[in-house]
């Protein structure tokens, strides 16, 4: 089911591409409001953010397969009603980000653990968590593992590229990509305004406009066709610009190969066939993304609702996924307070020290 799953994934990527900050200088037509968002996003110098993903349903129906079925059932049980939250703070100059990832499992095996992380222009720090089902050496639990991005690049036989950490350039790239995507889609078919009072915004979130991007069973084929035929070639050209190519460390030959494959008659025929059969293996119960815009023209809240089912009639496999995801932004372009700070001293260990501690206990990872 690789091609069919790939096509379904493309639909999700298409919508995910829309999950970017949205704003407007005044209440505009929905698509124009989101296009203005890409420009406004380049002015984000700092913010606090809260993200959350809740898995409402994740089930796989497939022919019995013995031991692998038992493993799958165990994993699905752990993920039922699971919540993943990320609270973070970001500033562009000097570049510093800190966030804490919290995983709450609420199935048969209830547990919770958090992983604080800090990133600067050249280093990343990850705190070693205490995980019940994964016994770790006591000497490393609670310590921050320091990852030197330059050293990691050298070990992998590559050169550290500071441009890859240029958040301003990343925002500019996002601006161009989003504008290109949005420009290809019909305002009336894919975008709409939602009254703020009807948008189920969290307490404390005030919005003057809420824009919804929506994919349904009726428009998903057209949306994918537009994405592949119209938007994707233009996005490849954008990525191929010298400043972005350097940042992403992409070679001309790789871009040329992607474009050639995209335009080949064989690929076109396979895409057309999969698209024609889309209704037999993809069902969209609900799929929309809302972006709330405050009076200062910044995005303050975004939420995604996804409820889909993917079938493979040939193999008798069915996957059902239902989840909610949200991002909330505050203290935009204000002076930020970093509660973790940049780890140092005895609270920090290197990757080499971490490996030695694992080796001394005979633990593998």
Contact (CB, 8 A) for 136 and 128? yes
At residue 334 the predicted structure's pLDDT band, cuts being 50, 70 and 90, is very high
Across 6-15, 178-187, 243-252, 345-354, least confident range: 6-15
Give pLDDT, residue 321.
93
Task: Reply yes or no on whether the pLDDT at 168 is more than 80.
Answer: no
Task: Reply yes or no on whether the pLDDT at 78 is more than 80.
Answer: no
Task: Reply yes or no on whether the pLDDT at 24 is more than 50.
Answer: no
Give pLDDT, residue 10.
46
Q: State which of 1-10, 21-30, 218-227 shows the largest mean pLDDT.
A: 218-227
Contact (CB, 8 A) for 249 and 164? yes
Tokens 């030197």 belong to which residue?
Answer: 148
- Give the residue-averaged pLDDT of 244-258: 87
Give pLDDT, residue 167.
74
Task: Reply yes or no on whether the pLDDT at 65 is more than 70.
Answer: no
Q: Which residues are bridge partners to 260 per DSSP?
A: none
At residue 249 the predicted structure's pLDDT band, cuts being 50, 70 and 90, is confident
CA distances from 349 to 119, 139, 144, 160 (A): 15, 10, 6, 21
> What value, to the nearest 5°, has the Cα angle with vertex 74 and ends 315 and 13?
60
> What value, to the nearest 5°, has the Cα angle with vertex 97 and ends 165 and 293?
95
Q: State which of 57-61, 152-156, 289-293, 303-307 shows the largest mean pLDDT.
A: 303-307
Taking only the tens place, the pLDDT of each residue in 177-196 is 888 888 899 989 999 999 99
Pairing relation of β-strands 83-91 and 191-194? unpaired
- Give the residue-averaged pLDDT of 9-17: 45
Task: Reply yes or no on whether the pLDDT at 12 is more than 50.
Answer: no
> What value, to the nearest 5°, has the Cα angle with vertex 80 and ends 218 and 317?
55
Stronger pLDDT, 224 or 39, i.e. the higher one: 224
Give pLDDT, residue 9.
45
Half-sphere exposure of 116 (CA within 13 A, CB side): 17
């Amino acid at each position: 089911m690789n091609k069919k799953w790939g096509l379904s994934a493309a639909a999700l990527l298409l919508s995910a591409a829309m999950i970017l900050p949205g704003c407007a200088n005044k209440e505009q037509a929905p698509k124009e409001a989101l296009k203005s968002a890409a420009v406004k996003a380049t002015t984000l110098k700092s913010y606090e953010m809260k993200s959350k993903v809740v898995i409402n349903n994740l089930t796989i129906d497939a022919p019995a397969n013995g031991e692998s079925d038992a493993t799958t059932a165990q994993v699905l049980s752990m993920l039922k009603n699971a919540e993943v939250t990320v609270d973070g703070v970001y500033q562009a100059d000097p570049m510093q980000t800190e966030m804490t990832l919290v995983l709450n499992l609420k199935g048969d095996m209830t547990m919770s653990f958090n992983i604080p992380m800090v990133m600067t222009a050249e280093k990343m720090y990850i705190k070693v968590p205490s995980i019940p089902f994964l016994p770790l050496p006591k000497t490393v639990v609670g310590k921050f593992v320091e990852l030197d991005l330059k050293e990691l690049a050298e070990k992998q036989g590559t050169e550290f590229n500071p441009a890859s950490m240029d958040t301003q350039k990343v925002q500019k790239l996002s601006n161009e990509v989003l504008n290109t995507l949005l420009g290809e889609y019909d305002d009336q078919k894919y975008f709409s305004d939602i009254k703020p009072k009807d948008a189920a915004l969290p307490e404390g979130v005030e919005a003057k406009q809420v824009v919804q991007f929506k994919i349904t069973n009726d428009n998903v084929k057209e949306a994918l066709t537009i994405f592949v035929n119209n938007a994707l070639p233009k996005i490849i050209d954008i990525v191929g610009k010298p400043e972005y190519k350097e940042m992403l460390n992409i070679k001309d030959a790789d871009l040329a190969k992607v474009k050639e494959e995209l335009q080949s008659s064989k690929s076109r025929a396979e895409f057309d066939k999969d698209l024609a059969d889309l209704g037999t293996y993809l069902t969209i119960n609900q799929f929309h993304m809302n972006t709330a815009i405050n009076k200062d023209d910044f995005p303050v809240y975004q939420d995604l609702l996804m409820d889909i089912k993917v079938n493979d009639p040939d193999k008798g496999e069915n996957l059902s996924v239902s989840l909610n995801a949200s991002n909330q932004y505050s203290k935009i372009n204000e002076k930020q307070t970093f509660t973790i700070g940049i780890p140092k001293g005895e609270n920090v260990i290197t990757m080499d020290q971490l490996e030695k501690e694992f080796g001394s206990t005979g633990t593998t990872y």
